[in-house]
Structure 1
Amino acid sequence: MPIDPNFEQNREKVDEENGVAVWGPVDPPEEQGIHGTHVAVDYDICIADGACLEDCPVDVFTWVDTPDHPTSELKVEPTHEDQCIDCMLCVDVCPVDAIDVDPGRAGRI
């Protein structure tokens, strides 16, 4: 199942890591939630293939450790989501639809 494009309405902001909003539920290591607002990554379905990180023209993403997560122990965090140019390349290359970019959420980072 792809990332919920309405996560802001359907989930609660429960934390902030590295300056990035975290939307619950979060119950590590299995549930990591959605990280980011303008550029959002669902850590629970991200398989960390790195396509988004490699293809992003403005380096929005960085690797972060997610020890013992059943899908992968690394995830891509939208650490620099404020630099996003809304090209949607990361959305297009994600093989599991774990990323959502919404230009309308840019002002709510």
Structure 2
Amino acid sequence: MAIDPHFERNRDVVDRHEAHDVWGPVDEPETLGIHGTHVAVDFDICIGDGACLEDCPVDVFEWTDSPDHPESEIKADPANESQCIDCMLCVDVCPVDAIDVDPGRSKRTR
């Protein structure tokens, strides 16, 4: 199951993390929601393989801990999503389709 490309319509912002929105539901440790808006990572399906961190030319992603999550205990967090240049490499290399980049969604931080 891939990230919901319409998460902004289907979910609510429930928190902030590293200057980006977290879209619920969140019920730690099993349910962590979607992190980011312009660059969105579904933490519930991210397996933490690191391909996005390795391939991103502008270092949008940073590791963040997710202890006891059933998929992985680290996640690729879009901590620097405002740096995104819309190259889509992260989307292309994610083996579980956990990332969505939409140039139409806001890059701003609140």
Compute the displacement of 1:2 (Å): 0.1
TM-score normalised by length of structure 2: 0.96
Match of 1:74 in 2: 74
Tell whether the 8 Å contact from 1:3 to 1:41 is kept in structure 2 after alignment: yes
Match of 1:38 in 2: 38
Read off the aligned partner of 1:94 and give its amino acid letter. C
Tell whether the 8 Å contact from 2:22 to 2:36 is kept in structure 1 after alignment: yes
Compute the displacement of 1:108 (Å): 4.9
TM-score normalised by length of structure 1: 0.97
Compute the displacement of 1:41 (Å): 0.1
Tell whether the 8 Å contact from 2:81 to 2:107 is kept in structure 1 after alignment: no
In the alignment of these two chains, the number of paired residues is: 109
Which 4+ runs in 1 deviate beyond 2 A? 106-109
Compute the displacement of 1:107 (Å): 4.1
SS in 1 for 2:106: helix
Please give the root-mean-square deviation of Cα atoms over the aligned residues, in Å: 0.8
Is it true that 1:93 corresponds to 2:70 in the alignment? no
1:57 and 1:103 mapped to 2: Cα distance? Answer: 17
> For each residue in 1:18-41, what CA deviation from the matched residue of structure 2 results, as whole angstroms up to 9, or x when unmatched?
111100000000000000000000
Read off the aligned partner of 2:98 and give its amino acid letter. A
Read off the aligned partner of 1:69 and give its amino acid letter. H
Compute the displacement of 1:106 (Å): 2.9
Read off the aligned partner of 2:51 and give its amino acid letter. A
Match of 2:14 in 1: 14
Any gaps of 5 or more consecutive residues in structure 2?
none
Match of 2:23 in 1: 23
Tell whether the 8 Å contact from 1:63 to 1:77 is kept in structure 2 after alignment: yes
2:9 and 2:49 mapped to 1: Cα distance? Answer: 28
